[in-house]
Amino acid sequence: MKFDRASGVLLHPTSLPGPHGSGDLGRSAHRFVDWLAVAGQRLWQVLPIGEVGSGNSPYMSPSSFAGNVLLIDLHRLLAEGWLDPEHLDPVAGLQETRVDYPQVRAFRMQRLHQAGASFFARHRDPRHEDFDRFCEAERGWLDDYALFMALALDAHGRSWNEWDPALVRREPAALHTAAHDRHDEVRFWKFCQWNFRRQWNDLRAHAHRRGIRIVGDLPIFPALHSAEVWANQELFELNEQGRPLVIAGVPPDYFSATGQRWGNPLYRWPEHERRGFAWWVERLRALIGLVDIVRIDHFRGFAAHWEIPASEGTAINGRWCPGPGARLFDALTAALGKLPVIAEDLGVVTDDVVELRRRFELPGMHVLQFAFGDDARNPHLPHRCTPDAVIYTGTHDNDTAVGWWRSASPREQRFAKLYLGTDGHEIHWDLIRAASSSVAEFSVVPLQDVLGLDGAHRLNRPGVASGCWEWRMSWSQIRPEHAERLAGLSSVHGRCEISHAALDR
């Protein structure tokens, strides 16, 4: 799908300011949308908005359909009448500069349970009708998700393939008994998803009023410990006990000398194809209903994926195996029409990956931090970009621009200085300007680069199991010139409406 020329900022909602230990869908999220509009930005890119999984990663969610309940704005629940003011008083352990997930989860989940109990105690509350309509409309995924979350709580961290064998096999009698015995907890998780959806829809509507489109993120593989793998075991490479035979990852690359062993189960693509790729159709349909554009992570895995024996401790001894290729995207297009999709085609990109992306008119990605390691033929350099692309200074997996510059080799620095015409003292703005002026349809910049923050503010380090996904911004870091400079660049590079007042000063 061809997109209008635009620019945007990458910031996950958990990184927003707020009094309850992490960002959420409340006041700061709406304020950030307003700031984007003032800065001449027309895109807000987020990471997967599902619940976080192992290592607090949004790419290892326990559901491919559910929203992250930790993003629910507690002030909104107070306004609904389901919490008391004292419930929102901050407690020790909730930090302003990073997300301490254990502390945040304990605080927020207690308040969500209090709100749920209050809601269900008010039997005549007219909002029950809206809740019931939501549960019925979303039952295709919601029933399995809510039961999975209730069972996972009882299992105290054990993966679903270690539960009672009758539940692992999903025997109907065992599922019925489990749902009956855990009725209140199942209902609570549905209550949380109803609130997430209402708040997310309100935030998205506000973004649309300000001319902002939201770019979402779809991980190619679900986590093993997820409702979708548990409920659809025949679609994944699992043995009879629900244990993966082979797992996903990538071979040694820029980020890791031993590759990345993600641990996600791989698809049984022939079974997906036999069913007309119905699970994938519904998965993408659901996300398109929540965001305006979808970035599909690890797009090259549809052409071929790196298959690692589950017994291997690293990704080194894997092999490339063919994916579904065009057959999947033919089915998606037939069901959903032109796909508003960005293909994350980084890593080992072969001709079949490029052909697949272009056949379905999906923009690919360029990352400026990868551009200066060799010579003028590097595909990430702005002059090598094509219009059907999204160009980034860096992604959530990269260091910040300032952090990258400080660790770059002398040769990289010399190349970048010559190419960008800079002495490097404002390298973040040099990269932002290069991205903005390129022919790529979209230019996207992490907020850390707009603010000129160093590597201490990096969000993720691929292959590192702990300490990631924790960074938070503060409003005190944002100065008027940040919005002014972004708006000026986007204006003169045709990515937003031209500001003649700025040009005539």
Say what the pLDDT of residue 465 is: 84
For residue 23, pLDDT over 90 is answered with yes
For residue 231, CA distances in Å to 75, 77, 140, 221, 235 come to 34, 31, 11, 15, 9
Say what the pLDDT of residue 463 is: 80
For residue 408, pLDDT over 90 is answered with yes
Residue 365 confidence class, pLDDT cut points 50, 70, 90: very high
Based on the residue annotation, tell me whether 441 is a catalytic residue of this protein: no
Say what the pLDDT of residue 391 is: 98
Report the chain's mean pLDDT, rounded to a whole number: 96
- Mean pLDDT over 349-356 rounds to 95
Classify each residue of 436-468 as buried b or exposed e, where b means 16 or more C-beta atoms within 10 Å of its C-beta.
Answer: bbbebbbbbbbbbbbbbbbbebbbbbebeeeeb
The span from the CA of 103 to the CA of 86, in Å, is 18
Say what the pLDDT of residue 348 is: 81
Would you state the structure tokens that stand for residue 241, as one six-digit string?
């006990």
Among the listed residues 344, 399, 441, 470, the single catalytic one is 344
Residue 347 confidence class, pLDDT cut points 50, 70, 90: confident
Question: What would the pLDDT profile of 297-327 be if each residue is shown by its tens digit?
Answer: 999 999 999 999 999 999 999 999 999 999 9
The span from the CA of 217 to the CA of 157, in Å, is 26
Based on the residue annotation, tell me whether 344 is a catalytic residue of this protein: yes
Q: Which residue has the higher pLDDT, 505 or 167?
A: 167
Based on the residue annotation, tell me whether 297 is a catalytic residue of this protein: yes
Say what the pLDDT of residue 501 is: 54
What are 244's strand-pairing partners?
Answer: 238
The answer to whether 307 touches 359, Cβ cutoff 8 Å, is no
Lowest mean pLDDT across 88-92, 164-168, 281-285, 321-325:
88-92
Q: Give the residue among 445, 464, 345 at the shortest CA–CA distance from 401.
A: 445
Residue 90 confidence class, pLDDT cut points 50, 70, 90: confident
Question: What would the pLDDT profile of 191-232 be if each residue is shown by its tens digit?
Answer: 999 999 999 999 999 999 999 999 999 999 999 999 999 999
Question: What would the pLDDT profile of 223-253 be if each residue is shown by its tens digit?
Answer: 999 999 999 999 999 999 999 999 999 998 7
For residue 9, pLDDT over 80 is answered with yes
Say what the pLDDT of residue 503 is: 53
Percent of the chain with pLDDT over 90: 92
Helices 278-288 & 139-155, crossing angle to 10 degrees? 90
Q: Give the residue among 72, 9, 81 at the shortest CA–CA distance from 46.
A: 9
Backbone angles phi, psi at 167, to 5 degrees: -75, -35
Say what the pLDDT of residue 209 is: 98
Q: Give the residue among 300, 388, 305, 381 at the shortest CA–CA distance from 347.
A: 300
Give the type of residue at 347.
Answer: G
Q: Give the residue among 435, 451, 481, 486 at the shortest CA–CA distance from 15.
A: 451
- Mean pLDDT over 133-155 rounds to 97
For residue 31, pLDDT over 60 is answered with yes
Q: Quick check: helix, strand or coil at residue 446? A: strand
- For β-strands 43-45 and 6-10, DSSP reports them as parallel
Among the listed residues 297, 399, 430, 449, the single catalytic one is 297
For residue 500, pLDDT over 70 is answered with no
Residue 50 confidence class, pLDDT cut points 50, 70, 90: very high
Spatial CB neighbours of 366, under 8 Å, sequence gap ≥ 6: 379, 380, 382, 384, 385, 389, 390, 391, 392, 438, 440
The answer to whether 435 touches 382, Cβ cutoff 8 Å, is yes
Percent of the chain with pLDDT over 70: 98
DSSP code per residue over 389-417: EEEES--TTSPPHHHHHHHS-HHHHHHHH
Would you state the structure tokens that stand for residue 486, as one six-digit string?
């972004």
